[in-house]
Amino acid sequence: MLDRSFDEFVEGHIAALDRYAYALTGDKHAADDLVQETLVRVAGAWRRIRRGGNPTGYVTTVMFRTYVSIWRSRRRAPQILELFDDPVSSVDSYAPVEARLTLRRALRTLPRLQQAVIVGTYLRDHDDTEIAAMIGRSQATVRSLRYRALKALGAALGMDASGDPAGAWPARTTTKEVNDGESGVFVA
């Protein structure tokens, strides 16, 4: 039988766990399954985890590892097909929503490890050491995965290496070409 501290932990952290799971999976139902699987794994070791001093960190690590595990990648879920394309809104108030949807679609094109590294880096603010420990790879691999993921996201979003829309700058621009004295722009 679990003690009351596990129930209190879940009640206090369920919203954050749901957000983290949704960021990893991109699907509400898959996120619910991930949270449930994580809590089942954590419940069995709760006394040891609670005595360890950092249950929140332990639970997020378990969730991260569960997400990237081979078992979950082998599990086949039915694919949801989009029946129609949402028209691009010309109203400015919908621009953030469109940007978020576009980014989410682009993020879902990445391999699972690259998605996990991007989410761990930019949503959870984990450093390379923490991410490397979570996925069982070296820090150099984490940096490589992040670089490839950002490059693929940039290509999917039509951005060049500098983050500008593709075609905004010449392919190779030198400082002298950009800072010609007339524009007042200086790029180092």
* Inter-residue contact 135 to 116 (CB < 8 Å): yes
User: Which amino acid is residue 40, in one-letter code?
Assistant: V
Ramachandran assignment for 127, one of left (phi > 0), alpha (psi -120 to 50 degrees), beta (any other): beta
Note whether residue 4 is domain-resident: yes
Note whether residue 100 is domain-resident: no
Question: 57 is in which domain, residue-wise?
Answer: 1-75
Burial (CB count <10 Å: 0-12, 13-18, 19+), residue 87:
exposed
Q: What is the pLDDT of residue 18?
A: 94
Question: CA 107 to CA 94: how far, in whole Å?
Answer: 20
One digit per residue, the tens of pLDDT, for the chain of length 188 reads 556 888 899 999 999 999 999 988 888 998 999 999 999 999 888 888 888 778 888 999 999 988 888 555 656 655 666 666 666 656 567 778 888 888 888 888 999 999 999 989 988 889 999 999 999 999 999 999 999 999 998 888 887 555 555 544 334 333 334 444 444 443 43
Note whether residue 146 is domain-resident: no
The CATH number of the domain where 67 resides is what? 1.10.1740
Note whether residue 17 is domain-resident: yes
Question: CA 119 to CA 124: how far, in whole Å?
Answer: 7
Query: Alpha helices of 26-138 — where are they, by DSSP H?
Result: 28-43, 46-52, 55-68, 70-74, 95-107, 112-122, 128-135
In this prediction the pTM is 0.53
Note whether residue 55 is domain-resident: yes
Question: CA 59 to CA 43: how far, in whole Å?
Answer: 10
Note whether residue 51 is domain-resident: yes
Note whether residue 139 is domain-resident: no
Note whether residue 41 is domain-resident: yes
Q: What is the pLDDT of residue 76?
A: 60
Q: Count how many domains the chain has.
A: 1
